[in-house]
Amino acid sequence: MRALVYHGPEDIRCDTLPDPSPPDVDGAVIRIERAAICGSDLHLYHGHMSSETGYGVGHEAIGEIVEVGSGVRRFRSGDRVLVSGVVGCAECGPCRTGNVAACETAPAMVFGVNQGLPGGQAEALAVPKADANLCAIPEGITAEQAVLLTDILPTGYFGAVGAEIQPGQDVAVIGCGPVGLMAILAAGLFSPARIFALDSVAERLAAAAGLGAIPVDVSADPLGQQLLDATGGLGPHAVIEAVGADASIQAAIGHVRRGGIVSVVGVNVRLDFPFPMALALMKNITFRIGICPIPLFWAPLLPLVREGRLAPDFVFTHRMGLSEGAEAYHLFAQRRDGVLKVLLDPAS
Amino acid sequence: MRALVYHGPEDIRCDTLPDPSPPDVDGAVIRIERAAICGSDLHLYHGHMSSETGYGVGHEAIGEIVEVGSGVRRFRSGDRVLVSGVVGCAECGPCRTGNVAACETAPAMVFGVNQGLPGGQAEALAVPKADANLCAIPEGITAEQAVLLTDILPTGYFGAVGAEIQPGQDVAVIGCGPVGLMAILAAGLFSPARIFALDSVAERLAAAAGLGAIPVDVSADPLGQQLLDATGGLGPHAVIEAVGADASIQAAIGHVRRGGIVSVVGVNVRLDFPFPMALALMKNITFRIGICPIPLFWAPLLPLVREGRLAPDFVFTHRMGLSEGAEAYHLFAQRRDGVLKVLLDPAS
Amino acid sequence: MRALVYHGPEDIRCDTLPDPSPPDVDGAVIRIERAAICGSDLHLYHGHMSSETGYGVGHEAIGEIVEVGSGVRRFRSGDRVLVSGVVGCAECGPCRTGNVAACETAPAMVFGVNQGLPGGQAEALAVPKADANLCAIPEGITAEQAVLLTDILPTGYFGAVGAEIQPGQDVAVIGCGPVGLMAILAAGLFSPARIFALDSVAERLAAAAGLGAIPVDVSADPLGQQLLDATGGLGPHAVIEAVGADASIQAAIGHVRRGGIVSVVGVNVRLDFPFPMALALMKNITFRIGICPIPLFWAPLLPLVREGRLAPDFVFTHRMGLSEGAEAYHLFAQRRDGVLKVLLDPAS
Amino acid sequence: MRALVYHGPEDIRCDTLPDPSPPDVDGAVIRIERAAICGSDLHLYHGHMSSETGYGVGHEAIGEIVEVGSGVRRFRSGDRVLVSGVVGCAECGPCRTGNVAACETAPAMVFGVNQGLPGGQAEALAVPKADANLCAIPEGITAEQAVLLTDILPTGYFGAVGAEIQPGQDVAVIGCGPVGLMAILAAGLFSPARIFALDSVAERLAAAAGLGAIPVDVSADPLGQQLLDATGGLGPHAVIEAVGADASIQAAIGHVRRGGIVSVVGVNVRLDFPFPMALALMKNITFRIGICPIPLFWAPLLPLVREGRLAPDFVFTHRMGLSEGAEAYHLFAQRRDGVLKVLLDPAS
């Protein structure tokens, strides 16, 4: 089958990989209908994650089940499903509730990052533990919305849940890339009075403003004075960080008000991150960071998308064929052409 | 009046300071009945907090009101009260609920650390905003128990609340000094299956074991293997850190299980604390640190002490006179004679 | 001063009452700018609440402080304020947080129902415990919005809070009168997938639909079959009851799904309400009913109204002068002219 | 096999029933090691539940798996297990978390009440959906403790959870039969300052006092004056009702303080229970009643029993053979010989 394959830094190409083997007793094989490139794929693209090459990439995919193991109970061939980008053991207590990030067997795994799971930017995908890791796509949800439910919409929601937003509070979201925009959408579900959206890229700030957020251009206001001015000097009750850079995580701790919450969905892999502990201590801060347990959030999000209360698909600015995968990665990595997120069609 | 006064590093003496002025309209003056030395007083004692000298120290005191401002509604002269070691503005939303650490006017202030509030290791103390910062000592609570309600018992409880312990979970408490022991007591209120108590001092581990905790000698088991072995390799659901050292906060993050909570009541004032962010990210951690909003926790704690469900006063190993203050500080700083905590009597 | 006065069943008139006395030390006198008639005033209007006559009525009023007691800290003459329709002792633990309905001194009291508090449908009003019972009207909130914050918007919110709505759930609101409409608005803050609005009056159903709810005409569907059909036979996760009739409270228990919540903001004063306990038992129901602790909800609601996230003032269909009070009550009681709610101007 | 069989009102006998059929693909057959008689079995015993006869009774049983369906993943033959007395579909969202009482497929079912499930007071028992309805008995838990985990300890815990007890609050438990005593034990896990135990039977009050509760003899104090006197006239924050009688549920509503919670684990099947709605309205009450979703509570309870933090087995006052079943029911129904709860041994 055709699949996007990692060949080294800045070198991902549409290539041929073996078709998936028949699924084991609990697994399923999906014919991919649509896939997408995630911001976290860029870590891999830039060569930060593995020195090996030759493996399939991508963890955002939806499609139709074409083969299913005999032990799968909730799905059958022909079902149209979305795949959790992050998977757990499916059997332990947390996994049975969908909280795969607290799996008691092993750290949660991600498709397409050479941890043993294949990539989803391909024509087909083998999914282990199908009952736990697949979700039927209900009537009223489009393919593009379904792709967003495989990772970044749940991830944005995870950030908003971690921020414990109460109605009428003020929230800031740092970073208005695809995940940050999903975090803005999701934060709105908890009815803050205001969402401040921080970024320095005009298109991203404009997209945030289009969601009802108050754009804050951090290139013009690096210290967040606008946040203080708007909140009587207190800062927002919660800050969702969706970049992962050292400076922006530190800014989140700096901006939040006393007693507030910082909820990080950006990826930061420092082992000695310079944490302003004295500030956190004086401010009584709750700080969260983690991998989104995606299946945990399908129950709230699916009906909201289905009923039109959440409309995340604006984020797809580019639709390309799998054969254009190399170009798609280049475009996305270079933030060309106002790109927010790229959808891939395995059929072309 | 006599009072303990800071004269420089390792030099706190019983000295004479002016009597408190008459209280302003919202204030009260207390004749101190008992006071205590807190572990956090040692930061000051060792010269880490201020280059100035000559001010009164101490923030744990109880006594009788001898003068009261005309605007005070809830107290009158003669009332026996305990004083919150930490005070807020008393008027903003959080302060009106007792959450002085989220004060919207200014950071919470502590008595006796040269922030503008006098010290409580003295014969008398002027307390601002008496309605908010004092608490009547009810029948059935002893003077020694009341002193513990001014700071360290609420602080231990704050750590336990922050750990969000659910019945049947496993918890670790790092550090079995006075605050750590209070955290063990308080954690027990939330009915964990097991409390692991980590320290390297035999007396402290023995005190923790006396509270029903499982002692873990970190000098023999620096990596916390015992925690992993006891929990099927998962680690405890929550860790309360009551030391404040870099290594012990890092250990807390290392020990806690995926999806767990680290609740820090130790004091760490690094501006670039080396935080293992990659680990926190992979484990989906909630991390909390802060100053205890003491008045917030009187409502739950007072009845529990009164009914004998909490018996914190075992922690007083030494009872000395105010005139012995210099010796009391030496003894406590050097951890001599199995000292856990020193009670001071201003009358002698 | 002029005021609406109860003269017996169906007989409320604009009359002359003595001006308010000067406030006591904690009180304030307000010159009323706008007042409104509440659905609960109709209980009194119909003679169900008191056999006495001659007292002022109304508990929804805003205005300007014209006189203030010396002990009031948070307000001064000239401040524009809204008045909580329900007041507590202001001193006990719950009251200090705004939870006047859990007052430890006495049941919460309501203005204008002959419990010792004067009526707010008047030119002026004496308010006890001004610090607790008044709220400054911030910039950006109109007089009409402020009137709604004195009672029915917080009451609708109270119903929604009691329903513990989680994002993506389904909710039903029984009764689309003014309080029911506020409950629909407030329920929306918690992002249910769908709000089903049940009533039998076309105008009210239309108003509910205008808020994004799905109208259910109970005259055509008395058993709520539409709710079952839409929810796979399960019923909504929560039901907010805003009528208070026996049948509609029973219907709420009947409609809600297993494990669900019924939150009643309608008024029912039966001492032997026929409660379908067997059904509640089989369904594991949480049932709530109560008086709204209005000041508790100003913190979340004010910023949401100020920022335009809540627009409740559509509910005022009629604006009349105080001198037209008798007619205003008739009109409202008879539900004439598509009336939803009547605003009163004391100046005319 | 031998089994206790319902032959009509007050006529349960040890009889012969067919051995369980081999389990279906998801099921298991258990050889019963111990069973027990539950208070709710008396409804059946007295003829209140079914006009049919000839079926096996009992829903509290533990034993060893002797046969297991091919689709069962978590258990194998030889495993020692306890059986949930209440079972759900095992597949829907709530059931997968253990919340069988919110099953989206059908109302939860109970063994041994002629709903299609066999009885557990027998030599063997067929259990459907073994993965969901069985729980391995860990090291350190005795057979008698395990029997209590099949129903009444989780049920008491369910009542305590529903009461949302906060540390330092006051709680009342109405009814000190086996479930009430388990509720007292469980309430203690949430660290109330005081638990008031209401009953009129001296032995039951003594058992409650033995658990640290304050006994209140309702025959001497029918109006609960002692509760008011002890709580400054406010009443307890929460009341757990463990009788199910009309008068005691009404008393629970009467006793609880304003803003409080009534959590009913007693069984009341009135369709027109006379509910004091006016009182509930004035007091802002949360009222809960339901069937315990037993598997939901194994996670917290098992480690607490294993570590000795919960010691429920004192409740077994009588140990008898299955062949003495008729006598066991008589004894329990008549509350003879100070009986609290009867354990049955199928081997004799």
Contacts of C303 in chain B (CB under 8 A): none
Q: Which residues pair with B288 in a beta bridge?
A: A286, B263
C274 contacts D272? CB cut-off 8 A:
yes
B129-168 in b/e burial notation, b at 16+ Cβ within 10 A?
bbbbbbbebeeebebbbbbbbbbbbbbbbbbbbbbebebb
The distance of D87 to chain A (nearest Cα, Å) reads 17
Q: What is the mean pLDDT of residues B164-168?
A: 98
- pLDDT number for residue C49: 82
Helix (H, G, I), strand (E, B) or coil at B319: strand
Nearest chain A residue to D91 by CA distance is A74
Nearest chain D residue to C280 by CA distance is D289
Per-residue confidence band for B3, with pLDDT thresholds at 50, 70 and 90: very high
**Chains contacting A (3+ CB pairs below 8 angstroms):** B, C, D
The distance of D16 to chain B (nearest Cα, Å) reads 41
A300 contacts C167? CB cut-off 8 A:
yes
- Asked if pLDDT for residue C114 goes beyond 90, the answer is no
Per-residue confidence band for D238, with pLDDT thresholds at 50, 70 and 90: very high
Nearest chain D residue to C286 by CA distance is D288
Per-residue confidence band for B115, with pLDDT thresholds at 50, 70 and 90: confident
Nearest chain A residue to C191 by CA distance is A189
Q: Is D259 within 8 Å of D284 (Cβ atoms)? A: yes
- pLDDT number for residue D84: 97
- pLDDT number for residue A51: 83
Please name the fold of domain D2-151+293-345: Quinone Oxidoreductase; Chain A, domain 1 (3.90.180)
Contacts of A167 in chain C (CB under 8 A): 189-190, 300-301, 304
Per-residue confidence band for D273, with pLDDT thresholds at 50, 70 and 90: very high
- Asked if pLDDT for residue C327 goes beyond 90, the answer is yes
Report A:206-245 residues touching C (Cβ under 8 A).
Answer: none
Q: What is the mean pLDDT of residues B259-288?
A: 97
Q: What is the mean pLDDT of residues B181-197?
A: 98
Distance, CA of B64 to CA of B61 (rounded, Å): 10
Q: Which two tokens stand for residue D269?
A: 């099947």
Q: Taking Cα atoms as reference points, which of C187, C181, C195 lies closest to residue C312?
A: C181
Q: Which of C102, C234, C284 sits opposite D101 (nearest CB)?
A: C284
- Asked if pLDDT for residue D200 goes beyond 90, the answer is yes
- pLDDT number for residue B22: 87
Q: Is B300 within 8 Å of D166 (Cβ atoms)? A: yes
Per-residue confidence band for D255, with pLDDT thresholds at 50, 70 and 90: very high
* Residues above pLDDT 70, as percent of chain A: 100
Q: Which residues pair with A78 in a beta bridge?
A: none
Helix (H, G, I), strand (E, B) or coil at C173: strand
Q: What is the mean pLDDT of residues B283-300?
A: 97
Q: Is C24 within 8 Å of C69 (Cβ atoms)? A: yes
- pLDDT number for residue B48: 86
Residue C187: enclosing H or E segment and its boundaries? Answer: helix C178-188
Q: What is the mean pLDDT of residues D87-92?
A: 90
- pLDDT number for residue B114: 86
- Asked if pLDDT for residue D329 goes beyond 80, the answer is yes
Q: Is B202 on the interface with C (CB under 8 A)?
A: no
D307 contacts B194? CB cut-off 8 A:
yes
Nearest chain A residue to D70 by CA distance is A71
- pLDDT number for residue D22: 87
Q: Which of A159-163, B201-205, B299-303, C220-224 has the lowest mean pLDDT?
A: C220-224
Q: What is the mean pLDDT of residues D257-281?
A: 97
Report B:274-303 residues touching D (Cβ under 8 A).
Answer: 299-303
CA atoms within 13 A on the CB side of B275: 27
Helix (H, G, I), strand (E, B) or coil at A210: helix
Per-residue confidence band for D146, with pLDDT thresholds at 50, 70 and 90: very high
B93 contacts C299? CB cut-off 8 A:
yes
* Residues above pLDDT 90, as percent of chain D: 90
Q: Is C11 on the interface with D (CB under 8 A)?
A: no
Q: What angle do CA A203, A205, A211 make, to 5 degrees?
A: 110
Q: What is the mean pLDDT of residues C286-311?
A: 97
- pLDDT number for residue C180: 98
- pLDDT number for residue C223: 84
Q: What is the mean pLDDT of residues D23-44?
A: 95
- A225 Cβ contact list (under 8 Å, min separation 6): none
Q: What is the mean pLDDT of residues A54-82?
A: 96
Q: Is B40 within 8 Å of B155 (Cβ atoms)? A: no
Please name the fold of domain D153-289: Rossmann fold (3.40.50)
Mean pLDDT, all residues of chain A: 96
DSSP C160: H
User: pLDDT digits over B121-150, tens only?
Assistant: 999 999 999 999 999 999 999 999 999 999
Mean pLDDT, all residues of chain B: 96
Place of tokens 């609990």: A26
Q: Is B97 on the interface with C (CB under 8 A)?
A: yes
- A54 Cβ contact list (under 8 Å, min separation 6): A5, A6, A7
Phi, psi (degrees; rounded to nearest 5) at D263: -120, 115
Q: Is A163 within 8 Å of C296 (Cβ atoms)? A: no
Q: Taking Cα atoms as reference points, which of A149, A113, A156 lies closest to residue A302?
A: A149
- Asked if pLDDT for residue B195 goes beyond 90, the answer is yes
Phi, psi (degrees; rounded to nearest 5) at D323: -65, -20
Residue C311 neighbours by CB distance under 10 Å: 12
Residue A320 neighbours by CB distance under 10 Å: 17
- pLDDT number for residue A66: 98
Residue C305: enclosing H or E segment and its boundaries? Answer: helix C298-306
The identity of residue B157, as a single letter, is Y
Q: Is C123 within 8 Å of C346 (Cβ atoms)? A: yes
Q: Which of A94-103, D136-145, D175-184, D317-326 has the lowest mean pLDDT?
A: A94-103
- pLDDT number for residue B51: 83
Q: Strands, E, within chain D: which ranges?
A: 2-6, 12-16, 28-36, 61-68, 80-83, 86-87, 109-110, 124-127, 134-136, 170-174, 194-199, 214-217, 238-241, 261-264, 273-275, 285-289, 316-321, 341-345
Q: What is the mean pLDDT of residues C200-227?
A: 95
The distance of D103 to chain B (nearest Cα, Å) reads 24
- Asked if pLDDT for residue D50 goes beyond 80, the answer is no
Q: Can you give the length of chain A in residues?
A: 348
Mean pLDDT, all residues of chain D: 96
B307 contacts D193? CB cut-off 8 A:
yes
C71 contacts B71? CB cut-off 8 A:
yes
- Asked if pLDDT for residue B224 goes beyond 80, the answer is yes
Distance, CA of D281 to CA of D265 (rounded, Å): 22
Q: Is B244 within 8 Å of B264 (Cβ atoms)? A: yes
Q: Is B19 on the interface with C (CB under 8 A)?
A: no
Q: Is C276 within 8 Å of C254 (Cβ atoms)? A: yes
The distance of D96 to chain A (nearest Cα, Å) reads 7
Report B:241-270 residues touching C (Cβ under 8 A).
Answer: none
User: pLDDT digits over A240-251, tens only?
Assistant: 999 999 999 999
Mutation target to probe the B interface, by most B beta carbons within 10 A, among C25, C26, C95, C96 is: C96
The identity of residue D263, as a single letter, is S
- Asked if pLDDT for residue D324 goes beyond 80, the answer is yes
User: pLDDT digits over D69-87, tens only?
Assistant: 999 999 999 999 999 999 9
Contacts of D105 in chain A (CB under 8 A): none
Q: Which residues pair with D320 in a beta bridge?
A: D344
Cα–Cα distances in angstroms (integers) from residue D307 to residues B213, D145, D158, in the given order:
12, 12, 20
- pLDDT number for residue C271: 95
Q: Is B71 on the interface with C (CB under 8 A)?
A: yes
Q: Taking Cα atoms as reference points, which of B239, A92, B191, B189 lies closest to residue D301?
A: B191
Q: Which of A101-110, A183-192, C126-135, D162-171 has the lowest mean pLDDT?
A: A101-110
Distance, CA of D65 to CA of C248 (rounded, Å): 49
Distance, CA of C29 to CA of C122 (rounded, Å): 12
Phi, psi (degrees; rounded to nearest 5) at B118: -70, 175
Domain residue spans in chain D?
2-151+293-345, 153-289
- pLDDT number for residue D91: 87
Q: What is the mean pLDDT of residues B43-67?
A: 93
Q: Is D51 on the interface with A (CB under 8 A)?
A: no
What is the reported pTM?
Answer: 0.97
Helix (H, G, I), strand (E, B) or coil at B92: coil
User: pLDDT digits over A311-335, tens only?
Assistant: 999 999 999 999 999 999 999 999 9
The distance of C304 to chain A (nearest Cα, Å) reads 5
Mutation target to probe the B interface, by most B beta carbons within 10 A, among A166, A250, A284 is: A284
Q: Is A96 on the interface with D (CB under 8 A)?
A: yes
Q: What is the mean pLDDT of residues A187-202?
A: 97
C73 contacts B91? CB cut-off 8 A:
yes
- Asked if pLDDT for residue A222 goes beyond 90, the answer is no
